[in-house]
Structure 1
Amino acid sequence: MIYAILGPLIISFLIPFFYKWKHKIHTGWILLPVPFVIFLYFLQFVGSEFSPIRQSYPWIPSLNIVFDLHLDGLSLLFSLLISGIGTLVLLYSIYYLDQSEKLAHFYIYLMIFMSAMLGVVLSDNVFVLYTFWEFTSLSSFLLIGYWHHRERSRYGALKSMLITVFGGLSLLGGVILLTTTAGTASIQEMIDQKDVIINSSYFPLILVFIFLGAFTKSAQFPFHIWLPDAMEAPTPVSAYLHSATMVKAGLYLIARLSPILAGEPWFFIAVSGIGMVTLCWGSFMAVRQTDLKGILAFSTISQLGMIMTMLGFGTKAAVFAAVFHILNHATFKGSLFMVAGIVDHETGTRDIRKLGGLMTLMPVSATLALFATFSMAGVPLPLLNGFYSKELFFSSSLELSTSGAALMNTLALVMPYLAVLGSIFTFVYSMYFFSGTFRGNLQADVLPKKPHEAPWGMLISPIVLVSGVILIGLFPNMVNEPLLAKTAEAVYGEAVQKEIYFWHGFETPFYMSMAVVGLGTLLAFTQKRWARVYQVIPGKWSFNVLYDLIVSGIYRVSETVTESYMNGSLRRYIRLILLAMLIAGFGFMMTTDGFMFSNADVAPISLTEVLIAVTMAVAAFATIYTSNRIAAILILGVVGYGLSLLFVIYRAPDLALTQLIVETVTVALFLLAFYHLPELRKIDDDKKERGINVIVAGLFGLLMAAVGISAHSSKWFEPISDYFLETSKTLGGGKNVVNVILVDMRGLDTLFEITVLGIAALAIYGLIKIRRTRE
């Protein structure tokens, strides 16, 4: 499994080397085998005999961070979607993206994202999961902003990153609290500590932080606003990130932690409540859109809300329906994004107001869209997989218990009605998408390009996905026992057996489906008459407006604060830095009883040491009152040489020699540099400025003295020097502890220090050479 995760990431480093073949072969052809091989690897585990697999690789054991991988039904389903649809998206992108594009950039970002998503769904250690979680945010930012020359692409990329990274930081807080409470970073071990976690005082905060992470990632209300703007990405990105992978990461997180969190009242209230609001709002707003990908964006929001709602129900039937719809949604929504891309690619527009009548000119695309939209709408036909999971959604909403608290009872009672309401608008936007694009009259005169059917290479991927829609619709139990049952078991925590039937008789779920089709058809045919309601709800106000106000407000406040201290005064900058150090230093020592003074193990002070210290102090004060710069540098050198003498007295000849060399070189360089500078001029400060200078200098001196005394007096842990003294001979092979530390124990640090000095030397040489060239 480790190779499946890291494989695309490693390949991404090799992509730039394919550049020389750019004009001979599309980069996508070279990378296509990568996700396909990963898909075949995970496909071998599908079957009724499959049992969870666990692998572990040491990473940072001192911090309880181990690269633990866990493959069960849930991670297997997501791994198949990530790699399988990733293969189809790569194939689709070969025909969608022209070779004149920056293909290396695109495929590097895509490979990084694929590795990150596989890491999220396969990681058992929560810190490793969080690391990959943030990689998905970063790589999706790069993919959404791929066409960075477009202002809207940059806006959408930044918006998605700000919202999802905010959720990621919240998730980190939840992860830290979880590990603190459970005493382990393993999710599977946390499940065994469920009672400890639930009874912890941190549990409410854990819920809030985890929910924020999941809701922002899966575009739940009110964080859904980033997804429509993310449609500025190339269509292959939308088909991959926003149908089967990134937006489902939040669903995965809730599903993965359900064995720990489910069953609690607030889990049901928050997850199902937010999910249902997202379903209804997303489906309602989808009908308002005029851009094909905008319609699909809000439809994705509504579908994610529906799945989140079922996960919040927490019953066996609801969990099974949720994982079933995760699979179904990936098939019909991925194909619809690709069809929208085909329409855009072949007509030059995604504006549904300019489209229509394309069925005769693009019959294959229209057929694919027909099956996919009708499946998304939940039309009761055995050829469509969407109807099965929609029917199970209705059934699970009717089976909710009403024996809990008042708020839970109220939600349980209204859930079936809200489910029907959201599904009605789902039917409306599905018909709106298909009819507005493929039916009606062709407006060829307003289209930028003459429409025609897409090349077969671009049609293969949506054909495969729509074939999945039909096959699952005809043979739903084909994926039940080998995959769905195992997935539901991983989420629910025990075996979930569920037979999938098309016909359940004349029962309430069937009447609910008929109500959706009937009322949905009525609203679809009368859409123009009631569309004015959008002028009232949401009207001019939306969460997008609120987001823009918050971001612009942050910019204004940041600008005001920055301008208040960034006035070009070095003195002010130093004062602010020292003030921050004073607050942090004294504040920490006051809160931790750091003001300690102990004269134990203190060596006696000789007269020589006192004289050297007094000389150094006098020299330091003398630099303040010296107006001649050469004299100031020489006097300051006395301080450094005095320190060298102290090292000699303390029997540290290596340090003394190093200090002497550094001080000599420093003085020489200062003299050389100051020779070319103008004469020092005395600054006449008023009494207030002088008083502030005295206070700042005095307090900072006291802080350094207090830190030094406290460092000697406070024995919070064993000094690390003991370790070096004991192991310098055995590990480093030397008696000179300082040399062993620099060369062996801190060898990499020393190497990088030398590297930095080398780079600085090269930079200085380059500047000197440029100056000589210009002269």
Structure 2
Amino acid sequence: MSWLHFMILFPFIFAIVVPVIHKKVTPKLHTGWFVLVVPFAIFIYLLSFIPKISKGEVFLSTAKWIPSYDMNFTTYLDGLSLVFGLLIAGIGTLVILYSIFYLSQHKEALHNFYVYLLMFMGAMLGLVFSDNIFVLYVFWEITSVSSFLLIAYWYERERSRYGAQKAMLITVFGGLAMLAGFIMLSMISDTTSIREMIALVDLYKGQPLFLAAMILILVGAFTKSAQFPFSIWLPDAMEAPTPISAYLHSATMVKAGIYLVARLTPIFGGTAEWFWLVSGFGLFTLLYGSINAVKQTDLKALLAYSTISQLGLIMSLFGLGSASLYKGLSVEESSIYAAAIFTAIFHLVNHSTFKGSLFMVVGIIDHETGTRDIRRLGGLMHVMPISFTLTIIGGFSMAGLPPFNGFLSKEMFLTAVIEASKMGIFHVNSIGILIPIIAWIASVFTFIYCMILVFKTFRGKHKVLKLDKEVHEAPIGLLISPIILATLVILLFFVPNMLSKWLLKPAFASVLPTLSSVVENKKISAFHGFNLELMMTIGVVLFGTVLYLLLRKWYRLYRLYPQWLTLSNAYNQSLGWMERTSKSVTTTYMTGYIRDYLVYIFAFIILILGGSLLLFKGISIDTSKDAPISIFDIGLVIGMIICAVTALVSKSRMTSIIAVGALGYMVSFFFVLFRAPDLALTQLVVETVTTALFLLCFYHLPQLKKEITRVRFKAVNAIISIGVGAIVTIIALAANGTHVFDSISVYYENSYELAGAKNIVNAILVDFRGIDTMLEILVLTVAGLGVYTLIKLKLTRGDKDEEV
């Protein structure tokens, strides 16, 4: 196990001790100060890799997990995973610092908060650094579980529980679809390593399961990154505390799907299906999120839809850039289209800086004013000047205005969509003109909601009467983290090529290793002359300003859209219908009688097993090699039948127990006849112990106050009993007559040499299958304790109120 493995496990390990720390230091120091060490240490550790990664080095380390299934915990550190790792650790550090001043040590269950947060952090690190797709999936689902816990942190609120459930259902559904895609991909590539899949992609790219795997994996990526139509979970997840929103929904969790698309682009890129699915859904999500953000009156809801929109922008760039892997392109064409991938990575970093800052500022506004409702806010620029400045920096960057980093990546985005509209592949020439048009319209709405965020909140008249508390600027502790992020927003505008050299170019080379030379001499600059992109930006500002000033005149258009047609309403109605349907179906078979449940189970066994035997012609009974049946065998069988019937019809507990014990002893006699002394001895010991335990248990069972009524004969019971017995007998005979594989018994014949045990049965139970035996004993112990507890509770209740 390497230091990279320890880095991933470090948050999980520290999460174990957080409750202890919280209990010991609660009166003295905020728990967050101790937790802050974890992401900060990880961030510093990852920074040490930048010089080597920028030179093209990669770091690979494998820890054995389930090698027989080719499932090993292999970490892979390259340019792409380093960018995501730095975002996870860096933003995590600032979020925890922010939460120290945002959440009260005495009013909040902080031990739960930081345990969930560390779980999520470790899961995200494991996700981006895993080379094995199934290990990646394990961490993927841990992010879903931990984010569910974080969103539902204030679980006493109904909206928090609803938002957590919604996020869980949608993302877990996507995760299961992704798992199916991973299984298909591993089947056709004959490996579970992402690196090996990329290296062997030409060998399996045209196989039948390739397209199905692609679609299923994209479902997982789209649900996690809130792409349309799965984006409905993100606004409801805003019920989580603001530090969670800033971490999960701007910088980390929602970027997991982006990471997956980026990592698998070398596998699926260059195909028309991947191009249209990724870029198409991305562009539509960009437009959908920006239009819906304008109508929001809650600041966090506005930021939620803006996040959806920005994620769509990044996703579309990865889709457009994937065209560079098309085999029929020239080097120049591939270079032009590949620039979209570089832009996507750049905007991903920019988005994390300005959106993280904005979420924190909105949290400050909520913290200091007691509301996030834009209709109750206004005029805050005079009482909260620092927050106002931070909002301008983050909001204008998101709107794509200079001198902020969002302007640079937005201009590059417009260049990418213009170039994409000129493609001569994937039938883009037919509808390609729509790509820049959709991007421009979405940019206009992006500009509008950014102006709403800045000016509706901070300009105008200060509405003191609509607020519940006296407003003042936030304490410095709450401002440190957004100030750092806002500083990066400005800094990256003036020195973007430093970021490009050390992080963006290595990350691009990780996604498109064959085209890494494309960006070797690439320079990011703020001005490229008076080109079409600049004209589009000027148009966005002018048209967006006009629409913002006339907002009251056209805002009522949103009311024309019926609410019953929204995706959230469709989700709620579907959930309600499923609940009602499941309840009505369940009540038809959940009768409360064990007999009915056994009828369903055994009838299902008869139909499925019996039908399979007939359908696949599995009944193949060969008795030619069977030993002759002696008079002793017949006698034992008759004796066993008599014991079984006696146990069934007896009215006495003692008689039934003795009959069952006698039946077990007769089985051991069979083993003697079959010359299996080890089995016979084991059976004798087991029967003796179980019979004694039966007698002991029944001796201590309370006496029933009601007389046992005789159960009437039921034909259904008889038919099912005979049917199950017949099916099991036929399967046993068929298995005895069919030998597809060599018998495993040959291996156990060497039990003395392998385990040092002269009794082969004991060797199998204790040595070869020791863990199975231990767990079986544990199950029996738990069941026994449960029975004992029920008996004691029933006796206690009877003593108190004489009711049984």
- Answer yes or no: same fold by TM over 0.5: yes
Q: Does 1:551 align with 2:575?
A: yes
Asked if the contact 2:298–2:373 (Cα under 8 Å) also holds between the matched residues in 1, the reply is yes
Alignment correspondent of 2:301: 294
- 1:657 Cα shift? 1.7
> How far 1:461 moved relative to its partner?
0.5
* CA deviation map 1:450-509 (0-9, x unaligned): 111111111111011111101101111010111101111111233041210100001011
Change (3 A) 1:683 1:557: same
Moved more, 172-181 or 565-574: 565-574
Residues 450 and 722 of structure 1, relative CA distance in 2, 3 Å threshold: farther
After superposition, the C-alpha distances for 1:265-311 in whole angstroms (9 at most, x for unaligned) are: 11111111111110001000001111110000000000000001100
Correspondence 1:202 to 2:222: no
Q: Would you say the 8 A contact 2:564–2:570 is kept in 1?
A: no
Pick aligned residue for 1:422 from 442, 446, 467? 442
Distance 1:670 1:15 in 2: 44
The structure 2 residue matched to 1:451, chosen from 471, 481, 495, is: 471
Checking the alignment, whether the CA contact within 8 Å between 1:644 and 1:660 is kept in structure 2 is no
The AA in structure 1 aligned to 2:765 is L
Structure 2 gaps, min length 5: 322-336
- 1:522 aligned to 2:546? yes
Distance in 1 between residues matched to 2:245 and 2:754, nearest whole Å: 54
Letter in 1 for 2:683: A
Work out whether residues 378 and 461 of structure 2, in 8 Å CA contact, stay in contact via their aligned partners in 1: yes
Superposed counterparts of 1:632-643, under 5 Å: 632-643=656-667
Judge conservation of contact 1:53–1:70 (CA < 8 Å) in 2: yes
2:85 aligns with 79
Give the Å deviation of 1:405: 4.4
Residue 508 of structure 1 is matched in structure 2 by: 532
3-state SS of the aligned residue for 2:376? Answer: coil
Give the equivalent residue in structure 1 for 2:330.
none
Report whether the alignment pairs 1:655 with 2:682.
Answer: yes
Instruction: State the AA in 2 paired with 1:404.
Output: I
Which of residues 361, 380, 390 is equivalent to 1:339?
Answer: 361
**3-state secondary structure, aligned to 1:55:** strand
Which of the residues 718, 732, 743 maps onto 2:766? 743
Query: What does residue 38 of structure 1 align with?
Result: 42
Residues 145-160 of structure 1 aligned to structure 2 (within 5 Å): 145-160=152-167
Letter in 2 for 1:44: S
Between stretches 708-717 and 319-328, larger displacement belongs to 708-717
The answer to whether the 8 A contact 1:182-1:190 is kept is: yes
Q: How does 1:353-432 map to 2 (within 5 A)?
A: 353-379=375-401, 381=402, 383-400=403-420, 401-406=422-427, 408-432=428-452
Aligned to 2:620: 596
**Which residue number in structure 2 is paired with residue 308 of structure 1?**
315
Aligned amino acid, residue 24 of structure 1: K
1:733 aligns with 2:733: no
- Residue pair 2:246, 2:359 contacting (<8 A) in 1 also: yes
- Paired residues in the alignment total 767
Determine the structure 1 residue equivalent to 2:121: 114
How far apart are the structure 2 equivalents of 1:696 and 1:478?
76
Q: Is the 8 A contact 1:335 1:466 kept in 2?
A: yes
| Whole-angstrom CA distance in 2 between matches of 1:259 and 1:7 | 31
- Structure 1 counterpart of 2:447, one-letter code: F
Q: Find the aligned partners of 2:783 and 2:728 in 1 and give their Cα distance.
A: 30
Counterpart position of 2:326: none
Match of 2:711 among 683, 708, 713: 683
Deviation at 1:670, TM superposition (A): 6.5
Residue type of the partner of 1:517?
V
The 1:357/1:220 distance shift into structure 2, 3 A limit, reads same
Partner of 1:56: 62
- Residues 173/93 of structure 1: CA separation in 2 closer, same or farther (3 Å cut): same
**8 Å contact kept, 1:54–1:71:** yes
Residue-by-residue CA offset, 1:374-408 (whole Å, 9 max, x unaligned): 000001x1x200011100111011112432344x3
| Residues 665, 684 of structure 2: 8 Å contact kept | no
2:198 and 2:266 in contact (8 A); partners too: yes
Name which of structure 1's ranges 265-274 and 657-666 shifts more when overlaid on structure 2: 657-666
Contact 1:82 1:118 (C-alpha < 8 Å) held by counterparts:
yes
Q: CA deviation at 1:673?
A: 6.3
Q: Tell which deviates more after alignment, 749-758 or 10-19.
A: 749-758
**Correspondence for 1:323:** 345
1: CA distance, partners of 2:593 / 2:376: 59
* More moved, 494-503 vs 246-255: 494-503
Q: What's the % identity of the aligned pairs? A: 46
**Local SS of the residue matching 2:75:** strand
TM-score by length of 1: 0.95
Query: How far 1:631 moved relative to its partner?
Result: 4.2
Equivalent residues of 1:629, 1:679 under 8 A apart: no
* Aligned counterparts of 1:707 and 1:667: Cα–Cα separation in 2: 31
Aligned to 1:242: 249
1:747-766 paired onto structure 2 within 5 Å: 747-760=770-783
* Aligned counterpart in structure 1 of residue 483 of structure 2, from 449, 463, 485: 463
Report what 1:573 is aligned to: 597
In 2, the alpha carbon distance for the partners of 1:91 and 1:684 equals: 72
Name the amino acid aligned to 1:654: L
CA distance in 1, matches of 2:492, 2:615: 63
Asked whether 1:193 is paired with 2:200, we answer: yes
Matched-pair contact (CA < 8 Å) for 1:628–1:679 = no
The alpha-carbon deviation at position 747 of structure 1 amounts to 2.5
Q: Tell me how large the CA RMSD over aligned residues is.
A: 2.0
Amino acid in the other structure paired with 2:359: F
- Measured against aligned partners, the alpha-carbon deviations of 1:150-171 in whole angstroms (never above 9, x if no partner) come to 0000000000000000000000
Shift of 1:633: 4.4
Residue of structure 1 equivalent to 2:328:
none
For 2:616 and 2:47, how far apart are their aligned partners in 1? 56
1:479 is paired with a residue whose SS is helix
1:333, 1:78 → 2: CA distance? 16
2:331 maps to: none
Report if aligned partners of 1:178, 1:197 keep a CA contact under 8 Å in 2.
no
Change over 3 Å in CA distance of 1:43–1:592 after alignment to 2:
farther
- Check if 1:440 corresponds to 2:434: no
Contact 1:633-1:671 at 8 Å conserved across structures: no
**1:191-230 pair list within 5 angstroms:** 191-230=198-237
For residue 284 of structure 1, what is the aligned residue in structure 2? 291
Bigger shift: residues 626-635 or 8-17 = 626-635
Q: What whole-Å deviation, never above 9, does each CA across 1:610-668 have from its counterpart, x for those lacking one?
A: 11112212333345554555544444444233223223333333223224314522552
Per the TM alignment, residue 540 of structure 1 is displaced from its structure 2 partner at its CA by: 4.0
DSSP-derived class of the 1:75 partner? helix
In the aligned structure 2, how far is the partner of 1:22 from the partner of 1:260? 50
Residue among 25, 44, 48 paired with 2:29: 25
SS state at 1:185 partner: coil
Relative to structure 1, is the Cα distance of residues 633 and 743 closer, same or farther in structure 2, using a 3 angstrom cutoff?
closer
Is 1:161 the counterpart of 2:193 in the alignment? no
2:692 to 665, 669, 681: 665
Cα shift at 1:517 = 0.7
- Report the more deviating stretch, 529-538 or 416-425: 529-538
Whole-Å Cα distance in 2 between the matches of residues 591 and 62 of structure 1?
A: 33
Q: How has the CA–CA distance of structure 1 residues 619 and 301 changed in structure 2, closer, same or farther, with 3 Å as cutoff?
A: same
The one-letter amino acid of 1:680's match is I
- Measure, in 1, the Cα distance between the counterparts of 2:47 and 2:738: 59
Quick one: distance in 2 between partners of 1:319 and 1:62? Answer: 37
Greater shift after overlay, 144-153 or 48-57? 48-57
Report the residue type matching 1:747 in the other structure: G
Distance change >3 Å, CA 657–CA 158, structure 1 → 2: same
Change in Cα spacing, 1:572 to 1:598, as seen in structure 2 (3 Å) is same
Output the amino acid matched with 1:725. Answer: E
